[in-house]
Amino acid sequence: MVTTEKHATLPEGSIETKTTTLNLGPTHPATHGVFQNILELDGERIVSAEQTIGYIHRAFEKIAERRPLYQITPLTDRLNYCSSPINNMGWHMTCEKLLGIQTPKRVDYLRIIIMELARIADHIVCNGVIGVDTGAFTGFLYVMQYRELIYEIWEEICGSRLTTNIGRIGGFERNFNNIAFTKLEKFLAEFPDVLTEFENLFVRSRIFMERTIGTGPISGERALNYGFTGPNLRAAGVDYDVRVQTPYCSYQDFEFEVPVGSTGDSYDRFLVRNGEMWQSLNIIRQAYQKVQAFKGEEAEVYHADVPEYYLPEKKDVYTKMEALIYHFKIVMGEIDMPPGEVYHSVEGGNGELGFYLISDGGRAPYRLHFRRPCFIYYQAYEELVKGGMLSDAIIVMSSLNLIAGEMDG
């Protein structure tokens, strides 16, 4: 359907007679997902770019209108699948806000451990991939081992690795076991050295610097106008972080810094993500200390006491009458939620992940809208790559950390 005659005008001084149309994607190996870009090239310079998205659109917002709350959690997994637990927790917290549930402090701290691990898992993939795209595979494979370790921790807690469906409304499905904590300790002990070495591979590497510095820059003002959030906005020098601005899940109890860049180019985005990983490690350490401080009965708390919304543990369903009743009521959709409309946002791997939930008092949301950070900032792509080289287009794409699942919704 693409008309080949629709060439863009060439910039002045070009030696070409007309622009070349290059169809980058939808399944190009360098796009890390299903994206299509129709680039108009003057030689190797990009004159214009048009993005096409929607190849993996799954209509989650429509599906959510027919699902009780606990069945929407698996849908959120599939938004940014590099950091599913943040999406899950964000969704649980939205529901808790609507239902007026106060979670115990221990639950908050455990959630923070999980969310910050997810942020690290998200950022090591993104930064590793920038390395791959600039020609260095080593870093990616090296840090991938530690993503594996993070996945093993999640596996101990919820049983799954990528699409986690972790937690419940009100807390977690079970308490963290000792294996999870042992693995977490191993991660905390080993990962700093790995991250240092990863940084050593890239940060002052001449090839890496020349490929990324000045590629796809954006000013703070333009970034805000384009609705950037998360590391990409902070790389442009704006210190907006949902965790600090509107603390949720007891983030106010933690001491951490918000790394910012200045030029908003691919190199700054890389540095900001690296800086965030250090901060995440810092937060996890603090949270783990706080979790360890709970002793005796307090150390057994892993969910809020809200039987009408919290899906009971399976072994209780088999042995306790009350748990069986609540299990039946929740699963069969006998539980109505209060009418109301609520917006809740969390700092996802890519920025402000928002949930706008309207309830009319039924069992399923009347309307649920996801504010997907990726979807919003990808529209700036043309502005970022215009005038640059074709090879820069690939670097910009990987440094924005575009996740097709989040983009298409």
Positions in the binding site for another protein (CB under 8 A): 1, 53-54, 57, 59, 61-63, 65-66, 68, 97-98, 222, 224-227, 238, 240, 245-246, 332-334, 336, 340-343, 345, 352, 354, 356, 358, 362-364, 366-367, 369, 371, 375-380, 408-409
- Residue 104 beta carbon to another protein: minimum distance, rounded to whole angstroms: 21
- Count Cβ atoms below 10 Å from residue 38 Cβ, excluding itself: 16
- The answer to whether the CB of 91 falls within 8 A of the CB of 72 is yes
- Residue 253 beta carbon to another protein: minimum distance, rounded to whole angstroms: 19
Both tokens assigned to 23: 């169809």
Q: What is the CA radius of gyration of the chain?
A: 23
Both tokens assigned to 139: 């870093």
- Residue 97 beta carbon to another protein: minimum distance, rounded to whole angstroms: 6
- The answer to whether the CB of 35 falls within 8 A of the CB of 402 is yes
- Count Cβ atoms below 10 Å from residue 219 Cβ, excluding itself: 14
Residues 102-139 as b or e (16 or more Cβ within 10 Å = b):
ebbbbbbbbbbbbbbbbbbbbbbbbbbbbbbbbebeeb
Between 313 and 408, whose beta carbon lies closer to another protein? 408
- Residue 363 beta carbon to another protein: minimum distance, rounded to whole angstroms: 4
SS3 389: strand
Q: How far is the C-alpha of 366 from the C-alpha of 297, rounded, in Å? A: 39
CA atoms in the 13 A half-sphere facing the CB of 21 = 11
- Residue 169 beta carbon to another protein: minimum distance, rounded to whole angstroms: 16
- Residue 295 beta carbon to another protein: minimum distance, rounded to whole angstroms: 35
